[in-house]
Structure 1
Amino acid sequence: MREQLERRAFLLLLAAVTIAFGFILEPFWGAIFWACAVAVIFAPLQALLMRKIGDKPNTVALLTLMICMTIVVIPVIFLSVAFVQEGVQFYQRLNSGEIDPKQILTQLRDAFPLFDRALIELGIDTEGLRDRIASAALEVSRFLARETFTIGQSTFSFLISLALMMYLAFFLLRDGSKLVKLMIRALPLGDEREHALFQKFAEVTRATVKGNLVVALVQGALGGFIFWILDIPGPLLWGVVMAFLSLIPAVGAAIIWFPVGLYLYATGDWISATVLMAYGAIVIGLADNVLRPILVGRDTKLPDYVVLFSTIGGIALFGINGFVIGPLVAALFMATWQIFMTEFNAE
């Protein structure tokens, strides 16, 4: 009886200490998650370097981390700086009146009167809607300005998180296999189940990060390129925005290029508008429809609709990190239920 009481008390203490430790690490969850993602994604490269260099864990982990910095982190930093610069220029043009949201909406309404009448028939106040959209555009520009003016603090926080992420990623690359074995030994789920879940975690993380980022980079680059060709202001700014929006399956970059195409039609630039609409539907859309199922759905073994809903839900709950966390949770959910059906409901 006493032994059973002591066991329950210890398990309660174990749960309480684990939860408390989780709260202590809460400010660093983003850095911890991306350190794990880096270790998982670059594990094949680490294994290749290990075969080439030999059994030198510190050297191989450091070299792997340097390659990651070179091909991922440094380009993202330069792109972020250029994005902020173009964002500031856009805000200045909006604030000076060079770009007038109300005038743009008026041109769209005059160019597409059927759409305006349809809104009126649905009981929507088009004048009020126009004012609200214009106010929203100004609020977005003010938000961008505030973020730009506090860029020093943001940069400092980003650099701290980046340093913590890379520091932890080094140890995960060096000692990752040992840590996995330790977790398998500690968790009371059964070694085979734990191996299956850890393997699913690695597969989904690798496929989701690589797949979604490749799709986002391709769509952002294609969108920015066509904006530059058509001499649309801020091609880099809108290219980066389209890359971020491309993380949302099915909709993605069309949120940007489609309204711009409508505006070009409204201003009478039919050639540029037609080129942009055709390019967006065929080239940018094809990149999403072809690459995403190949890079994300096939490797995660998740249906396209599950990838869509889990990605959107993940972004809504966890922010930008959710584009990985959402499909990861969905894949673990399906893997867990598969284990349950196999072992507990064999019939």
Structure 2
Amino acid sequence: MYAKLETRTFLAMLVGVSLAFVWLMKPFFGPIFWAVAIALIFHPVQQLLVRKIGERPNVNALITLVTCMVIVVIPVLVLITSLIAEGVGVYQQIQDGEIRPGEYIDQVNKSFPAIQSFLAQFDINFAEIRDRAVNIFVGGSQFFAKQALGVGQNTFQFFLGLALMVYLAFFLLRDGTKLVELMIRALPLGDERERLLFAKFAEVTRATVKGNLLIAIIQGALGGLIFWILGISGALLWGVVMAIVSLLPAVGAALVWVPAAIYLAAVGDTIQAVILTIFGVVVIGLADNLLRPVLVGRDTKLPDYIVLLSTLGGIVMFGVNGFVMGPLVAALFMAFWGIFIREFGEETGRTEKVGPSHGHGDDGAG
């Protein structure tokens, strides 16, 4: 009896200390998550180095981390710096009246009066839609400018998080395999099931980050490039916006380039509008369909409605990191239930098959 009490007390304290540790690490959630993602994505690079130069953990981890810095971290820092300047510039132009979204909408309405007539059939007031669209545009630009200025003002905090991410990534690259084995020994879920879950976690993380994020970056880059070629102001900013909305199925980058094409047609730039439309449909649109099966894989692809809901939910819960964390949590949720159905469903099926057969054998023996 006393031994059971000791065990229960120890387990309760273990859970309490573990929750306290998670709460303690909460401020560093972003750097920790991205360090884990880097370790998982660049693990194949480290394995290649092991085959080439042998088991030299520190050297292999350092070379892998430097590769990651050159390929990912430094370009992202350059992009963020340019984006801050671009976002602040666009917001300032709106404040100075150089950019007037309301006039753009009026110009579209003037060039295509059929739009207002079509909306009137459903008792939809075009003026209300116009005012709401202007408020969303101005509010969004203001929010973006505040976020951009926040990054600039909190430079120390930003680089502290970056340094922590790189520091953790080094140790995860070096000792990641040992840490996984330690967790498999510690968790009371069954070693085989735990290995399967860790493998699934790694697979889903690679697919979510490497696949979805890379596809979004490609679509955003293509969109920004065509905007720059056509001379549309704020090409870098709109490219980033297209990359963000590309993470959302059903809408995607078309949420940005379609209104731009309509406006170009409204002001008489028909050739530019046609070029943007063709490029958007053929190049930007097909990039998702062609690259996603290759980068993400069909086994880990979530239904579009799950991706949409989990991405929006992830943004609410985790902020910017939610673009990746939301679909990752959803994929892990489905993976856990898939394992549950496969294992316990098979056991139930075997029980149902064995039960009647066993009873029949008893009757025969009797």
Normalized against structure 1, the TM-score is what? 0.93
Distance 1:72 1:111, change over 3 A: same
What residue number does 1:186 align with? 186
Q: Secondary structure at the match of 1:252?
A: coil
What residue number does 2:60 align with? 60
CA contact (8 A) 1:203 1:299 kept: no
Q: Secondary structure at the match of 2:249?
A: coil
CA contact (8 A) 1:307 1:327 kept: yes
Query: Which whole-Å CA distance do the structure 2 matches of 1:118 and 1:124 have between them?
Result: 9
Shift of residue 64 of structure 1? 0.8
Distance 1:303 1:92, change over 3 A: closer
What residue number does 2:92 align with? 92
Percent identity, please.
59
Shift of residue 53 of structure 1? 2.0
Query: Which whole-Å CA distance do the structure 2 matches of 1:146 and 1:313 have between them?
Result: 22
Query: Which whole-Å CA distance do the structure 1 matches of 2:337 and 2:95 have between them?
Result: 54
Shift of residue 316 of structure 1? 4.1
Shift of residue 308 of structure 1? 4.7
1:100-126 superposed Cα distances (whole Å, 9 cap, x missing partner): 111111111112222212333433332
Query: Which whole-Å CA distance do the structure 1 matches of 2:226 and 2:142 have between them?
Result: 27
What residue number does 1:154 align with? 154
Counterpart of 1:217 in structure 2: which amino acid? I
What residue number does 2:172 align with? 172
Q: Which moved more, 1:7-16 or 1:87-96?
A: 87-96
Query: Which whole-Å CA distance do the structure 2 matches of 1:61 and 1:88 have between them?
Result: 38
Distance 1:5 1:301, change over 3 A: same
RMSD over aligned Cα atoms = 2.0
1:116-146 superposed Cα distances (whole Å, 9 cap, x missing partner): 1233343333223323332333333333443
Is 1:141–2:136 an aligned residue pair?
Answer: no
- After the TM superposition, list the runs of 4 or more consecutive aligned residues in structure 1 that deviate by more than 6 angstroms: none
Shift of residue 166 of structure 1? 0.9
Q: Mark the runs of 5 or more structure 1 residues left unpaired by the alignment.
A: none
Is 1:294–2:321 an aligned residue pair?
Answer: no
Q: Mark the runs of 5 or more structure 2 residues left unpaired by the alignment.
A: 350-366
Q: Secondary structure at the match of 2:248?
A: coil
Query: Which whole-Å CA distance do the structure 2 matches of 1:136 and 1:330 have between them?
Result: 29
Query: Which whole-Å CA distance do the structure 1 matches of 2:12 and 2:341 have between them?
Result: 30
Pairs within 5 Å for 1:103-118: 103-118=103-118
Q: Which moved more, 1:127-136 or 1:263-272?
A: 127-136
Shift of residue 45 of structure 1? 0.3
Q: Secondary structure at the match of 2:154?
A: helix
CA contact (8 A) 2:151 2:158 kept: no
What residue number does 2:41 align with? 41
Distance 1:293 1:97, change over 3 A: same
CA contact (8 A) 2:250 2:304 kept: no
Shift of residue 326 of structure 1? 2.8
What residue number does 2:75 align with? 75
Counterpart of 1:229 in structure 2: which amino acid? I
Distance 1:341 1:93, change over 3 A: closer
Shift of residue 50 of structure 1? 1.7
Distance 1:297 1:123, change over 3 A: farther
Counterpart of 2:115 in structure 1: which amino acid? F
Shift of residue 319 of structure 1? 3.0
CA contact (8 A) 1:297 1:304 kept: no
What residue number does 2:324 align with? 324
Shift of residue 263 of structure 1? 0.7
Distance 1:322 1:150, change over 3 A: closer
What residue number does 2:334 align with? 334
Distance 1:142 1:265, change over 3 A: same
Query: Which whole-Å CA distance do the structure 2 matches of 1:151 and 1:65 have between them?
Result: 24
CA contact (8 A) 2:220 2:241 kept: yes
